Amino acid sequence: MKNLQMHKEDAMIRRMKWLVVALGMLLLVGCANESTATDALDLSKITVEELEKKAKEEGQVHSVGMPDAWANWKETWEDIEKTYGINHTDTDMSSAEELAKFAAEKTNASADIGDVGIAFGPVAEEQGLSLKYKTSYWDDIPEWAKDDDGDWLLAYTGQMCFITDKQNLPEGVEAPKTFDDILNGNFVLTIGDMETANQSQFALLNAAVTYGGDEKNLQPGLDFFKKLAEQGRLKTTDASLANLETGEVQVGMLWDFNALNYADAVDRDRFEITVPPVTVMTGYTTIINRYAANPYAAALAREFILSDEGQDNLAKGYARPIRENAKISDEAKKKLLPPSAYKDIYKVKDSKAWEESTKQLAQLWQENVMAYMK
């Protein structure tokens, strides 16, 4: 069985305080106005052939937040090494930690590229931490999934879903498919730590959106979880691989790439994965460090990640490729839910409002939900 770790997003969310620390560091370092050798690079004018040549000359690339067990990065880095002779190392860390590292090290950079959550792409751009590179696949990337000049562009996405352990259901009871199913049934929902877990916070947003709220108004979601808390049907432990395997989770809320991964790791037939009618989406983008010691190798890595081969590797890791026209193998397709499973995908429209809402969540959750736990 594949050796699975907690996914990088969960690693980030367990240390959400890092976000505050990281953003503070970014403001303090004042890096946006510093001049570096990397600043002079204009990767928009380089051909892929020239990029490959210069990347091979560098011969190495150092990533952060792109570990083997997350989104099948292992196979991507192996392909890059085999195809271009570029050696690779990674240090796993959260999105906030990645940007804090870029800002703190500046011209003494030990990392060339990182993989961060969708909300962190604009932060990296605003703080002057990213090096622009559109890739040759720029036109294949939806407008909502990229900035205007290649500071960031999503490589893959994921959507919120329910994972149900069918062994934990009474005979004749079907797995829930909607929030109403959970509310009107007798299910126990495992949601994780709302105060620190990003995945849990997006589950709350999903509930809020379902009942008429949005990233500015989380009250409908809080009301949903309050009702479960009052009935003793809410658990704030993690719907982790270990907890799923030992049967401690009846119904959990996870990103689909986590749910699919965990289910396959334990026993796919034991679990049912269902997508609510409205599902909140997340995405991840590579950030090429403005101060990268190996900028060409980092840019070539992004180029490869957006290629058919790179997108297929991501799909094998249960992530949904951003390029709809990418050629995905049958092996990878079998690991994903069919597009028809996703009826209405909600993308965060106001990232700043969402950021402000998450800062208040600890207090809101305590007052509106935890105070009613049984």
pLDDT at 2 over 80: no
Note whether residue 40 is domain-resident: no
Return the pLDDT at 40: 54
pLDDT at 227 over 50: yes
> CA-CA distances (angstroms) from residue 268 to 64, 284, 335?
31, 26, 11
Residues 201 and 288 in one domain: no
Return the pLDDT at 15: 46
- Domain with 172, as residue range(s), is 158-278+339-372
d(CA 172, CA 14): 37
For residue 38, name the pLDDT band (cuts at 50, 70, 90).
low
Q: Which of 18-22, 56-60, 138-142, 234-238 has the lowest mean pLDDT?
A: 18-22
What's the rounded mean pLDDT across residues 160-180? 97
Note whether residue 32 is domain-resident: no
pLDDT digits 0-9 by tens, 107-132: 999 999 999 988 788 889 999 999 99
d(CA 184, CA 176): 10
DSSP calls for 116-135: EETTHHHHHHHTT-B-----
> CA-CA distances (angstroms) from residue 202 to 197, 206, 361?
9, 6, 11
Residues 183 and 264 in one domain: yes
> CA-CA distances (angstroms) from residue 331 to 168, 265, 334, 336?
30, 16, 6, 10
Residues 361 and 225 in one domain: yes
pLDDT at 56 over 50: yes
Residues 346 and 211 in one domain: yes
Task: Assign residue 51 the CATH number of its domain.
Answer: 3.40.190.10
Q: Where are the alpha helices (DSSP H) in the chain?
A: 8-13, 17-29, 48-58, 73-84, 95-105, 120-126, 179-184, 198-210, 219-230, 241-245, 256-266, 295-306, 308-316, 330-333, 351-368
For residue 39, name the pLDDT band (cuts at 50, 70, 90).
low
Residues 232 and 363 in one domain: yes
What is the chain's mean pLDDT, rounded? 89
Note whether residue 3 is domain-resident: no
What's the rounded mean pLDDT across residues 254-282? 94
Residues 355 and 221 in one domain: yes
Residues 145 and 97 in one domain: yes
Note whether residue 118 is domain-resident: yes
Query: Quick check: helix, strand or coil at residue 253?
Result: strand
| Residues in CB range of 105: below 8 A, 6 or more apart | 111, 291
For residue 275, name the pLDDT band (cuts at 50, 70, 90).
very high
Note whether residue 174 is domain-resident: yes
pLDDT at 34 over 70: no
Residues 220 and 274 in one domain: yes
pLDDT at 69 over 60: yes
Compute the residue count for the chain: 374
Indicate the residue type of 358: T
Residue % of the chain over a pLDDT of 70:
89
pLDDT at 202 over 50: yes
pLDDT at 12 over 80: no
| Listed residue (210, 97, 196) closest to 160, CA to CA | 210
What's the rounded mean pLDDT across residues 227-248? 96
Check residues 86 and 120 and name the one with the higher pLDDT.
86
pLDDT at 316 over 70: yes
Residues 148 and 290 in one domain: yes
pLDDT at 13 over 70: no
Residue % of the chain over a pLDDT of 90:
73
Q: State CA 236 to chain mean position distance.
A: 21
Return the pLDDT at 355: 80
Residues 85 and 181 in one domain: no
pLDDT at 150 over 80: yes
For residue 195, name the pLDDT band (cuts at 50, 70, 90).
confident
- pTM of the shown model: 0.78
pLDDT at 105 over 70: yes
* The pair of three-digit structure tokens given for residue 112, joined into one six-digit string: 């060339």
pLDDT digits 0-9 by tens, 246-264: 999 999 999 999 899 999 9
> CA-CA distances (angstroms) from residue 321 to 110, 161, 308, 324?
28, 17, 9, 7
Residues 274 and 287 in one domain: no
Residues 123 and 265 in one domain: no
Note whether residue 34 is domain-resident: no
Note whether residue 37 is domain-resident: no
pLDDT at 82 over 50: yes
What's the rounded mean pLDDT across residues 210-230? 97
Note whether residue 98 is domain-resident: yes
Q: Cβ distance 373 to 234 under 8 Å?
A: yes
Q: How many domains does the chain have?
A: 2
Q: Cβ distance 199 to 117 under 8 Å?
A: no
pLDDT digits 0-9 by tens, 340-357: 899 899 998 887 888 888
